[in-house]
């Protein structure tokens, strides 16, 4: 049996990120959110998603796993994109439906 893909959503407690987490939970994959809750809210949490609190600058500390896919919400996208090598496997796309 194939191993589940691990998908990291940065900003997963925000508007776009929470909708993305909700969509990804319909796939057979493990979804981790990294959010510093600067503008995000725990009210946006989606059941089944693993939430970690922290800034993307410390991503390796908060997410020691190597995700198969990293998907960043708009406001954190630029930071991840500027230095993709710091973020493990750094494809930045959402699996198609």
Cβ-Cβ contacts under 8 Å for 58 (sequence gap 6 or more): none
If binding means CB under 6 A, how many residues of this protein chain bind ligand NAD?
21
Instruction: Report the sign of the C-alpha dihedral through residues 22, 8, 69, 5, in that order.
Output: negative
Using the rule CB under 6 A, is 80 a contact of ligand NAD?
no
Please select the residue that binds ligand NAD; options are 15, 25, 89, 92, rule is CB under 6 A.
15
Using the rule CB under 6 A, is 62 a contact of ligand NAD?
no
Please select the residue that binds ligand NAD; options are 8, 31, 32, 34, rule is CB under 6 A.
34
DSSP, collapsed to helix, strand or coil, labels residue 59 as helix
The distance of closest approach from Cβ of residue 25 to ligand NAD in the complex, given in angstroms and rounded to an integer, is: 17
């Amino acid at each position: 049996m194939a191993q589940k893909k691990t998908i990291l959503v940065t900003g997963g407690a925000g508007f776009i990120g929470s909708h993305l987490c909700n969509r990804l939970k319909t796939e057979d994959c493990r979804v981790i959110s990294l959010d510093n809750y600067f503008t995000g809210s725990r009210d946006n949490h989606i059941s089944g998603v693993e939430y970690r609190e922290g800034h993307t600058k410390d991503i390796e500390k908060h997410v020691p796993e190597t995700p198969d896919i990293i998907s960043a919400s708009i406001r954190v996208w630029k930071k991840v994109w500027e230095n993709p090598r710091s973020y493990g496997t750094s494809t930045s796309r959402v699996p198609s439906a």
